[in-house]
Amino acid sequence: MNSIQDKTDWKQLSEFLARMNRLKQHHVGYCGEQEEEIYGALMEDFAEGGGRGQRFTVYASEGRIIGALGFQVDEEDRSAEVWGPFIDAGQAEWAPLANRLWREGLSRLDAVVDTLYGFYNMENVNCTNFMAEIGAERSGLHTILKSRGKAGVNWTSDSPLVDSTGVEDITPELEAEFLKLHAMSFPGTYYGGKEILNRLNGDRRLFTAVEHGELAGYVYVEAEPEFREGSIEYIAVSSDFQRRGYGKKLLARALRYLFGNVGTEEISLCVSRDNIGAIRLYESMGFDTEHQLAAFVLKVEGISPTQEQDRIAATSERS
């Protein structure tokens, strides 16, 4: 019997998502690819507290998951990142099941949102078409690059490739300059400058390059030692200090920390597909392209989740 699960089996769901997300034709940029990592994210962001468990809708057939859709909500920002729809079914069944998951998922959502974000592999044609059909706008194209270390490079050495002289952890006197540069470099991004400063700890580091007392640039990295993974979330160089090698020094400091100090086995980063110069820099430091993704935005300002799912239902009935 096919039905929406009343109670989510988070272990079973994490296995399903990991299996699906490793395939480019199903890949969603917000979701990881390791089962343990996904399970941790599900427990932290969906399973624990209040009605957050309702933010993931799971469709099963005879106990086997064949479809899932989640909304990772930022209540303060009144937005949500869309996980899915993940559907393991024939092409003829994809659209009807996606519409059902979408209607059901929005009706179960326990928070008011103004904006929904999607992030899909370009080979995930079903999801990119689905986003267009429900009225989402494509906001950009992005490249995901990953590095598993550059052959022959000792990341704890002083070789020219990993030279990061003068790049150190941020100090309090540089925070105001950092906030200004971050706002200029990444307007409207997922982590604001103050949020980055609040997130800093032993596994989340903000490194800065300084010239004559002025902030030349910064790089913000996050490590996940339990999964031996890391990410470079942001890297920026002030316009006054560009073309002086600071981008490479900042990147080298990030790699030395993640590979050399943390023992990370894999580092990922995301960059606009149009930023050819940055992509070439990353490739020169051992990164390879892993995914090409399209970002989508769906504005639902002033509309409750229930109203929005009614609108989508009407749209699907007309199609």
Residue 278 lies in a domain: no
Per-residue pLDDT of the chain (319 residues; tens, 9 = 90+): 578 888 899 999 999 999 999 999 999 999 999 999 999 999 988 886 655 667 899 999 988 999 999 999 988 888 999 999 999 999 999 999 999 999 999 988 877 899 999 999 999 999 999 999 999 999 999 999 999 976 556 665 555 555 667 899 999 999 999 999 999 999 988 899 999 999 999 999 999 999 999 999 999 999 999 889 999 999 999 999 999 999 999 999 999 999 988 999 999 999 999 999 999 999 999 999 999 999 999 998 644 545 555 555 554 444 4
Does 192 share its domain with 96?
A: no
Number of domains into which the chain is organized: 2
Site of tokens 């300059």: 177
Q: Which CATH number characterizes residue 96's domain?
A: 3.40.630.30
Cα–Cα distance measured from residue 119 to residue 206, given in angstroms and rounded to the nearest whole number = 26
Residue 169 token pair: 């952890």
Range of the structural domain that residue 54 is part of: 2-141+295-318
Is 87 a member of any domain?
yes
Integer Cα distance of 244 and 21 in angstroms: 39
Residues 137 and 10 in one domain: yes
**Pairing of the two strands 64-74 and 56-61:** antiparallel
pLDDT of residue 302: 46
Q: Are 7 and 13 in contact (CB under 8 A)?
A: no
Q: Confirm whether 118 is domain-assigned.
A: yes
Cβ proximity of 219 and 253 under 8 Å: yes
User: Is 281 inside any structural domain?
Assistant: no
* pTM, 2 dp: 0.84
Q: Indicate whether 63 and 129 sit together in one domain.
A: yes
Claim to verify: residue 10 and residue 103 sit in the same structural domain: yes
Neighbours of 246 (CB within 10 A): 23
Q: Which of 237, 201, 241 is nearest to 221 (CA)?
A: 201
